[in-house]
Amino acid sequence: MAKAPQTAITPTRAEDYPEWYQQVVRAADLAEQSPVRGCMVIKPWGYAIWEAMQQALDRMFKETGHVNAYFPLFIPLSYLEKEAEHVEGFAKECAIVTHHRLEAGPDGGLVPTGKLEEPLVVRPTSETIIGAMYAKWIKSYRDLPILINQWANVVRWELRTRLFLRTTEFLWQEGHTAHATAEEAIQETRKMLGVYATFAKDYMAMPVIRGEKTAGERFPGAVNTYSIEAMMQDRKALQAGTSHFLGQNFSKAQEIKYLSNEGREEFAWTTSWGVSTRLVGALIMTHSDDDGLVLPPKLAPQHVVILPIFRNDEEGGPVLEYCHKLRGELATQTYDNAPVRVLVDTRDIPRADKKWQHVKRGVPVIVEVGPRDIQGDTLMPKRRDESSAEKKPAVSRAEFVSSIGTSLAAMQANLYNRALAYRQEYTRTFTDLAEFESYFTAKNADKPEIHGGFAIAHIAEGPESAAVFAKHKLTVRCIPLDDEPGFEEQVEGKCLFSGKPTKVRAVISKAY
Amino acid sequence: MAKAPQTAITPTRAEDYPEWYQQVVRAADLAEQSPVRGCMVIKPWGYAIWEAMQQALDRMFKETGHVNAYFPLFIPLSYLEKEAEHVEGFAKECAIVTHHRLEAGPDGGLVPTGKLEEPLVVRPTSETIIGAMYAKWIKSYRDLPILINQWANVVRWELRTRLFLRTTEFLWQEGHTAHATAEEAIQETRKMLGVYATFAKDYMAMPVIRGEKTAGERFPGAVNTYSIEAMMQDRKALQAGTSHFLGQNFSKAQEIKYLSNEGREEFAWTTSWGVSTRLVGALIMTHSDDDGLVLPPKLAPQHVVILPIFRNDEEGGPVLEYCHKLRGELATQTYDNAPVRVLVDTRDIPRADKKWQHVKRGVPVIVEVGPRDIQGDTLMPKRRDESSAEKKPAVSRAEFVSSIGTSLAAMQANLYNRALAYRQEYTRTFTDLAEFESYFTAKNADKPEIHGGFAIAHIAEGPESAAVFAKHKLTVRCIPLDDEPGFEEQVEGKCLFSGKPTKVRAVISKAY
């Protein structure tokens, strides 16, 4: 065998995973740092992926009875202070508006003036401002449930940021619901966790584990926090979405009361749930390879890119005509209930640059069309998830066109299956603490930077795990729900750390 | 004649137009003031209208070659200061972030800490932060044009606010483009003005005049500002969208340079253009009546609301079954290339309340279905733009279903024609200053609050008009483009105010 081919991304995943991630974001032209500390610019290709995510999620929210609305960007400080745990959780990372005017200062430059009587916090999340409105809107049990979602930007002042994964400003959706009973609110919390899991599986081709967070990992002010956890290719976990049962904590702090069917005044039960542009980071780290981004077809802004190849105008005429005709034919085909999205890239830049640009951007299918392809009316389409070493026979144009929907569906399924197999390969159940520790420390011969994975272990409450977790930078990612595959049956066991008997099994790993 | 019927909205338009507007917003459940000064909450029905607008506009932007992206909410003060006129235009209305943390203060409450080295301005518009990125991205003429749009929230600190029309925070889109030549940038500016005008006409059923702003009304930093101007039912103008040719003002301030085809370093030519949630205010004031909101079908979140009428469970069974079947049949029909949107409102609230709620919310077609309607299999659908006095014969269910698309299209056309006729009725050309002044002062016998309208007059540059304008609170709304109907031919005339000869004709009126 010849030596491994050079890759489009340097370094490779095995060489330096964090740097590989930054280089994929850059090579795929998804986003970049802005001059504003910690705030990113989401570039057109990255934003188109977010739009595709939004569109699918928005439809799923509406199908489950939710409507969209919009609440203010600013939260008066006194509102944030109403729920004690909540404000404590966010106080250290708030952007605060204190003035509303600029005027020339003593040295000529502009300085903030018009000091506000009460500072305004740029929303880090909207429980308190939305709760204040719900307190006004809800009078009787007839006004419940309220099922509202908001698409918005939020700000959390982060010191260490990474594009998409952790940024000072990010885009997200936040659902906020109010219910007459705890049962109904819990059901909503779990239902929306399920919507996130379905979206992750069906659109992102990303397998996730749905579970409950431990007390220390709860959303500030929540009674219970649930999350979906995905394994990235460096075997760390990424929390990809959360759904919170807030009990009556916020309704008591904000007086969200209703008159019940029996005429009693009751506090409402509330929930909140959200996913953010972090999902784009999750998508990158789940599927991409050493040649750049790999996009699941359902979220790809373009499904097929056609690259016309010709040396002169004489060749160019028929080639371009053929390409545009091919685009038209492909666009009559459907995938995911919509026309296949096709681009003919006619830009006047070097052939190899152009091709690699689309490879690095993760376009699912790339097809080059030159005079010889036209002559035979056959094509050599390249599917992004297939190895470039693997040579496939040419297919007739007619067959390429008629099978494009099937081909995209096959790629979508392949990406999911590959990611699931990877997670399964690096998920192990432990009953021995030494083996557990070795799992997170043993170096891997071929991939020295990547080791460990998800560990499943019985765990009981208590301080015994803390030292081990701190030593290896581990956290309990979640306690999987009892309808998660593999966790349906309660199994008696002993806590891996304290030896105490327990039925609780957790997913433990390093995490983003 | 009996006395005028009572209306759902008090006061009526004729009685108190500004208050009527507030009451329509309230009765249609579109938005309300939040506890944050000047910031509104856009409620689900209002937000659904904005979503419908976004969807149509977004498609039109993409069809004209634009892509979406996202830039930071915050602008470093030094960036805003780079373009002198620009910062002067916005300095008095900026929300400024000065701190990034909250800590317990001397009296126990939280106070802002972590002072920023450089204050951040919450974007009032994004020319400067986007320009900074363009300066990085653009190197050669091959990188041009850049055609990017952003959907975002912006903040302008307003002292007097009115829901949708003027709020401290509002939602909008802002297009920002960069070009190699002035001609191309001017063409883009005009093209996007055209897109806005087409959207206003085809979706909002709102006739607009496209024109150029006078120097005093230009966007801070622009060479030329164009706008679309619409007449509201109180005959005031509302500026519904603007498109700016920025020349090289911003590219010089921000060093947006490119290497030309001939190897010369040149400054790019830029444009920006935007519409906002203000359009919802324009929509309300163009079509609504004394019974509340009237929605053009293309932007209506629901096209048809079916109201089941029954006195007991025995009647209820067949009525509900009929209603759901009817909904299914209507949903197989299409309007504006999508299925007709139908809701069966089964809520257990009094019949009249329920019906009037939908009337006030502007649902295009409302149909009540009771036992007798089922028996005859005929219905009495009510189109929101038709007078309630006008009795129409019942139609068979089959006919109602098969004609729903046509009926919605007829309503859409009727709203446009009605608004156009209204504008034409209250648009007059003046060559006599006394008549002009009387037009804006004479009281209207039947509508004492409403007088004047649009005045067309020749106008030359100079100070002569200022006193008249100030006296009657008038502004030049725009100099209509030479392809606006009625303005195709240049007509020599004398300035209404100075008598100087001029070819320039302007639209003059009171305005929002």
Tens-digit pLDDT profile for residues A147-185: 999 999 999 998 899 999 999 999 999 999 999 999 999
Hey, how many other C-beta atoms are within 10 angstroms of the C-beta on A368? 18
Q: Report DSSP letters for A336-377, one per residue.
A: TTEEPPEEE---SS-HHHHHHHHHHTT-SEEEEE-HHHHHHT
For β-strands A146-155 and A67-68, DSSP reports them as: parallel
Per-residue confidence band for B132, with pLDDT thresholds at 50, 70 and 90: very high
Looking at A55-64, A85-94, B230-239, which range is the least confident one?
A85-94
Identify the domain boundary among A369, A394, A414: A414
B111 vs A contacts (CB less than 8 Å): 119
Is the pLDDT at A2 greater than 70? The verdict is no
Of A39, A42, A148, the CB nearest to B69: A42
**Spatial distance between the Cα atoms of B267 and A374, rounded to a whole number of angstroms:** 43
A71 vs B contacts (CB less than 8 Å): 34, 41
Output the pLDDT for position B446. Answer: 56
In a domain, B503, yes or no: yes
B75 vs A contacts (CB less than 8 Å): 36
What's B321's DSSP letter? H
In a domain, A45, yes or no: yes
Is the pLDDT at A74 greater than 90? The verdict is yes
What's B140's DSSP letter? B
- The CATH code of the domain that includes B459 is 3.30.110.30
What's A386's DSSP letter? S
Do A153 and A272 belong together in one domain?
A: yes
Output the pLDDT for position B83. Answer: 83
Residues 88 through 107 of chain A touching chain B, CB cutoff 8 Å? 91-103
Name which of B147, B282, B136 is nearest B203 in CA terms. Answer: B282
pLDDT tens-digit profile of A34-53? 999 899 999 999 999 999 99
**Spatial distance between the Cα atoms of A109 and A104, rounded to a whole number of angstroms:** 5
Query: Between chains, do A122 and B97 touch, taking CB under 8 Å as contact?
Result: yes
**Test the A interface: residue of B77, B81, B97 with most A CBs within 10 Å:** B97
**Spatial distance between the Cα atoms of B101 and A93, rounded to a whole number of angstroms:** 6
In a domain, A6, yes or no: no
Q: What is the mean pLDDT of residues A248-267?
A: 96
Is the pLDDT at A305 greater than 80? The verdict is yes
**Helix and strand numbers, DSSP H then E, in chain B:** 15, 28
Identify the domain boundary among B381, B409, B437: B409
Name which of B472, B421, B426 is nearest B234 in CA terms. Answer: B426
pLDDT tens-digit profile of A445-463? 555 555 799 999 999 988 9
Hey, how many other C-beta atoms are within 10 angstroms of the C-beta on A387? 8
Query: Between chains, do A91 and B103 touch, taking CB under 8 Å as contact?
Result: yes
Q: Could you tell me if A385 and A411 are in contact, meaning their C-beta atoms sit under 8 angstroms apart? A: yes
Helix (H) or strand (E) holding B356: helix B351-360
Name which of A374, A97, A446, A79 is nearest A255 in CA terms. Answer: A79
A343–chain B Cβ distance below 8 A for any pair: no
Name which of A149, A153, A97, A148 is nearest A124 in CA terms. Answer: A153
Identify the domain boundary among B409, B434, B456: B409
A73–chain B Cβ distance below 8 A for any pair: yes
In a domain, A336, yes or no: yes
Helix (H) or strand (E) holding B44: helix B44-63
Do B282 and B312 belong together in one domain?
A: no
Q: How many domains does chain A have?
A: 3
Output the pLDDT for position A1. Answer: 45
Backbone angles phi, psi at B193, to 5 degrees: -60, -40
Q: What is the mean pLDDT of residues B169-179?
A: 98
**Helix and strand numbers, DSSP H then E, in chain A:** 15, 28
pLDDT tens-digit profile of B374-426? 999 999 999 999 987 777 889 999 999 999 999 999 999 999 999 999 999 99
Do B50 and B76 belong together in one domain?
A: yes
Do A448 and A384 belong together in one domain?
A: no
The amino acid that residue B8 corresponds to is A
Backbone angles phi, psi at A360, to 5 degrees: -65, -30
Q: What long-range pairs does B253-256 form, CB within 8 A, spacing at least 24?
A: B253/B82, B253/B83, B253/B86, B253/B131, B254/B82, B254/B83, B254/B128, B254/B131, B254/B132, B254/B134, B254/B135, B255/B135, B256/B131, B256/B134, B256/B135, B256/B138, B256/B178
What's B14's DSSP letter? T
Do A50 and A198 belong together in one domain?
A: yes
Burial class of residue A434, CB neighbours in 10 A (0-12, 13-18, 19+): exposed
Q: Could you tell me if B326 and B397 are in contact, meaning their C-beta atoms sit under 8 angstroms apart? A: yes
Output the pLDDT for position B390. Answer: 75
Burial class of residue A13, CB neighbours in 10 A (0-12, 13-18, 19+): buried
**Spatial distance between the Cα atoms of B273 and B244, rounded to a whole number of angstroms:** 6
Enter the pTM of the model.
0.96
pLDDT tens-digit profile of B111-127? 999 999 999 999 999 99
- The CATH code of the domain that includes B194 is 3.30.930.10
Q: How many angstroms from the chain centroid is the CA of residue A159?
A: 21
Per-residue confidence band for A10, with pLDDT thresholds at 50, 70 and 90: very high
Q: Could you tell me if B238 and B230 are in contact, meaning their C-beta atoms sit under 8 angstroms apart? A: yes
In a domain, B11, yes or no: no
Output the pLDDT for position B1. Answer: 46
A338–chain B Cβ distance below 8 A for any pair: no
Do B329 and B180 belong together in one domain?
A: no
Do A46 and A159 belong together in one domain?
A: yes
**Spatial distance between the Cα atoms of B198 and B203, rounded to a whole number of angstroms:** 8
Output the pLDDT for position A389. Answer: 75
Do B504 and B382 belong together in one domain?
A: no
Q: Could you tell me if B380 and B367 are in contact, meaning their C-beta atoms sit under 8 angstroms apart? A: yes
Do A64 and A163 belong together in one domain?
A: yes
Domain that holds residue B155: 17-287
pLDDT tens-digit profile of B329-369? 999 999 999 999 999 999 989 999 999 999 999 999 999 99
Q: Is the dihedral of CA A377, A383, A384, A389 positive or negative?
A: negative
Is the pLDDT at B5 greater than 80? The verdict is no
* Mean pLDDT over the full length of chain A: 95
**Spatial distance between the Cα atoms of B140 and B263, rounded to a whole number of angstroms:** 9
Output the pLDDT for position A503. Answer: 95
A67–chain B Cβ distance below 8 A for any pair: yes
Before A11, cis peptide (omega within 30)? yes
Of B43, B119, B153, the CB nearest to A73: B153
Before A145, cis peptide (omega within 30)? yes
Q: Report DSSP letters for A118-131, one per residue.
A: EEEEEPS--HHHHH
In a domain, A245, yes or no: yes
The amino acid that residue B380 corresponds to is M
Output the pLDDT for position B445. Answer: 56
**Spatial distance between the Cα atoms of B162 and B281, rounded to a whole number of angstroms:** 9
Per-residue confidence band for A109, with pLDDT thresholds at 50, 70 and 90: confident
Output the pLDDT for position B262. Answer: 95
In a domain, B116, yes or no: yes
Instruction: Report the percent of chain B where pLDDT is more than 70.
Output: 97
Q: Which residues pair with B146 in a beta bridge?
A: B178
Is the pLDDT at A254 greater than 70? The verdict is yes
Strands in A94-158 per DSSP E: 96-104, 110-122, 146-155
Q: What long-range pairs does B101-105 form, CB within 8 A, spacing at least 24?
A: B101/A91, B101/A92, B101/A93, B101/A94, B101/A96, B101/A157, B102/A77, B102/A87, B102/A91, B102/A92, B102/A94, B102/A96, B102/A121, B103/A91
Q: What long-range pairs does A22-25 form, CB within 8 A, spacing at least 24?
A: A22/A162, A22/A163, A24/A284, A24/A288, A24/A292, A24/A293, A24/A360, A25/A163, A25/A164, A25/A284
Residue of A nearest to B100 (CA): A95
Q: What is the mean pLDDT of residues A221-235?
A: 97
Q: What is the mean pLDDT of residues B44-53?
A: 98
Give the Cα-Cα-Cα angle A15, A19, A20 (nearest 5 degrees): 65
**Spatial distance between the Cα atoms of A412 and B467, rounded to a whole number of angstroms:** 69
Output the pLDDT for position A179. Answer: 98
Backbone angles phi, psi at A413, to 5 degrees: -65, -40
Is the pLDDT at A484 greater than 50? The verdict is yes
Backbone angles phi, psi at A4, to 5 degrees: -55, 140
Token reading at A142: 């007839």
A469 to A218, A474, A497: CA distances (angstroms):
18, 5, 10
In a domain, B296, yes or no: no
Output the pLDDT for position B392. Answer: 84
Do B68 and B211 belong together in one domain?
A: yes
For β-strands A505-509 and B224-231, DSSP reports them as: unpaired
**Test the B interface: residue of A102, A150, A157 with most B CBs within 10 Å:** A102
- Indicate the angle between helix axes B17-27 and B278-287, nearest 10 degrees: 110
Q: What is the mean pLDDT of residues B319-325?
A: 98
Residues 493 through 512 of chain A touching chain B, CB cutoff 8 Å? none
pLDDT tens-digit profile of A390-418? 778 899 999 999 999 999 999 999 999 99
Helix (H) or strand (E) holding B53: helix B44-63
pLDDT tens-digit profile of B204-262? 999 999 999 999 899 999 999 999 999 999 999 999 999 999 999 999 999 999 999 99
Question: What b/e string do you get for B202-232 counting C-beta neighbours within 10 Å, with b at 16 or more?
Answer: bbbbbbbbbbbbbeebbbbbbbbbbbbbbbb
**Spatial distance between the Cα atoms of B119 and B503, rounded to a whole number of angstroms:** 48
Give the Cα-Cα-Cα angle B16, B361, B448 (nearest 5 degrees): 15
Helix (H) or strand (E) holding B366: strand B365-369
B417 to B53, B125, B359, B385, B456: CA distances (angstroms):
20, 35, 21, 12, 21
A39–chain B Cβ distance below 8 A for any pair: yes
**Spatial distance between the Cα atoms of B115 and A105, rounded to a whole number of angstroms:** 18
A98 vs B contacts (CB less than 8 Å): 96-99, 112
Do A258 and A161 belong together in one domain?
A: yes
Q: What long-range pairs does A378-386 form, CB within 8 A, spacing at least 24?
A: A381/A304, A381/A407, A383/A407, A383/A411, A384/A294, A384/A295, A384/A359, A384/A411, A385/A287, A385/A294, A385/A411, A385/A414, A385/A415, A385/A418
Residues, chain B? 512
- The CATH code of the domain that includes B338 is 3.40.50.800
Do A305 and A449 belong together in one domain?
A: no
